[in-house]
Amino acid sequence: MSKKPKRGNPIAQAAIMRKGGVHEKSKSAKRQKSKRKLRNEVNKYLVADNKAGDQPSLYLLAA
């Protein structure tokens, strides 16, 4: 049985292999995560403030 010839150009295939590795979060994903975190912290503050019997401080949401 004879050997199969290699397919394609080995120089071009190396470029494809360079794309691998650890993937990072996109900028938009990082921005959305920080927005979610801030919204959760504000909601925790408003809930804690509301449990004390006061009205929630809505001026924080407008900022």
Q: What is the pLDDT of residue 6?
A: 72
Whether the full predicted model's pTM is greater than 0.75, yes or no, is no
Q: Which two tokens stand for residue 20?
A: 């691998």
Q: What is the pLDDT of residue 9?
A: 72
The tens-digit pLDDT sequence of the chain (63 residues) is: 577 777 777 666 666 666 666 778 889 999 999 999 999 998 888 877 666 565 555 555 544
Contact 43, 60 (CB under 8 A): no
Task: State the Cα torsion 29-31-37-40 to the nearest 10°.
Answer: -100
Q: What is the pLDDT of residue 31?
A: 96
DSSP state of 55: P
The helix (H) or strand (E) run that includes residue 39 is helix 27-51
Q: What is the pLDDT of residue 18?
A: 67
